Amino acid sequence: MKLNSHIRRLTLTGVFVALTAVATLIIRIPTITKGYINLGDTVVNLAGWVLGPFNGAAAAGLGSALADLISGYTVYVPATFIIKALMAAAAFQLWALLAKRLKDLPARIIAAVAAELIMIAGYAVFEGLLYGSFASAVASLSGNLVQGIFGAAASVTLYEAVLKRIPHLTDRN
């Protein structure tokens, strides 16, 4: 049985890598900073909640970095891997901590918002270093904020409406 749970977890991790990449690539709304708003953060948060902090981080980081690589945003690949992995791990860890004191839904909302704040801050710092000016990084804040709001709302809604109703999907044993 232990081997089956490891195979199941590895398979789900692979599925979430692919889902993250596809969600990031399928709908891309260009921003004025030559980036794009996408659906990827929805799956990043879900990966953390479904897979836990380690596998969720791996799936979110790999899937998002793969999407950047495919899209030609090669310079962003390492930063995206780190930022999205941190988001998934934080989404899980904060939810797990808050769910002990709050009901599940408020805990999940707070965790999703915190994960999106990691994305917004992470890209602001990376772009400030990349472009040598934090003033230019500030220009991308609005696009990342819109993506963050959508990612938090969509991930919580999708989890509550669909994923939590699938038997054994969220078992992290």
Instruction: Tell me the pLDDT tens digit for each residue of 103-137.
Output: 999 999 999 999 999 999 999 999 999 888 888 77
pLDDT of residue 131: 86
Task: Compute the distance between CA of residue 18 and CA of residue 14 in angstroms, rounded to an integer.
Answer: 6
Partners of residue 30 on adjacent β-strands: 36
Per the prediction, the chain carries an average pLDDT of 91
Partners of residue 29 on adjacent β-strands: 37
The pLDDT of 154-158, averaged and rounded, is 96
Residue 170: how many CB atoms within 10 A of its CB? Answer: 14
The CA-based diameter of the chain, rounded to the nearest angstrom, is 54
Q: What angle do CA 141, 146, 151 make, to 5 degrees?
A: 120
Give this prediction's pTM.
Answer: 0.90
Residue 159: how many CB atoms within 10 A of its CB? Answer: 22
Domains contained in the chain, CATH given:
2-165 (1.10.1760.20)
pLDDT of residue 5: 83
Q: Identify the residue whose tokens are 């993506």.
A: 147
